[in-house]
Amino acid sequence: MPLDFLELDLMRVKVVTNAKYVVERPARAAVLTLVLVLLTIMPGASHARLKGFVPSSRSGLAEVWVEFPRFAEPFGDDYVEDYAITNGWGFGLGVSFGFADKLCLEGRALQTNHTVEDADWDLDLAYVGLKYCMVRESPFQPFLSVGYVRQNLETDSSYAQHREYVRLAGNGILTSVGMDYYRSKKFFVTLRVEYAFVDYSYAIFGTDEQNMEESLDGRVLSASIGIGYRAPIW
């Protein structure tokens, strides 16, 4: 199926959808910001009490976590202005392995649900990258991460039953800034804000696979809260 068909199909967005996008965008961002602030100032063990539980090195430590809720706001001009894709909510799973004092290799699988033309679409990300932890001797440990991301925007199963299945796919870079808060030597809360630089260059329409003549801007800004568990593996 030619790409111009997709553009005509997606641009038939109702006025109510655009209105919903304008109203919900600041409201959802405000709610997420409030939750992040509340979790950050939650009462917990004192710094002195936790200091003995926090390892001075991440080397040899494995961590797993669940990110929920996760909020994503598409910023790519091509599919925000032309297709009016809405903000979305979802979840994520992550795992990391520390191989140096402040460095970890991490992998994450992320998903959020969005609306295009009153139908549900899924935004899926698969990420592998490096995480740099800036502080070691504190329960509050800020970090930076950067790595490779594979991003898909596709119709979900319920939509595909009534319309032809569509998937847009692309590769890019995902950068994150965040903080891990350790309430004990094993359990922690993690907060993240991140930006994905992605161009969609590949498409599937039904069973027809093709490279796109012109890539679509698929940038996404997102934030999440997570709860995790850490354990030594040597």
Contacts of 84 (CB under 8 A, 6+ apart): 13, 17, 18, 21, 116
Report the predicted TM-score, pTM, of the whole model to 2 decimal places: 0.76
Rounded average pLDDT per 10-residue block, the chain, 234 residues:
44 37 47 51 45 67 96 83 85 96 96 88 96 89 97 76 79 97 91 96 84 88 96 80
Residue 73's pLDDT is 94
- Residue ranges and CATH numbers for the domains of the chain are 3-232 (2.40.160.20)
Residue 21's pLDDT is 39
- Cβ neighbour number for residue 76 with a 10 Å cutoff: 22
Residue 223's pLDDT is 97
Residue 159's pLDDT is 53
Residue 213's pLDDT is 83
CA terminus-to-terminus distance, the chain = 53
Contact between 207 and 166 under an 8 Å Cβ cutoff? The reply is no
Can you tell me the distance from the alpha carbon of 232 to that of 68, in angstroms, rounded to the nearest whole number?
25
Residue 8's pLDDT is 39
In order of 45, 103, 150, the CA distances from 57 in angstroms are 21, 9, 30
Residue 157's pLDDT is 63
Residue 162's pLDDT is 55
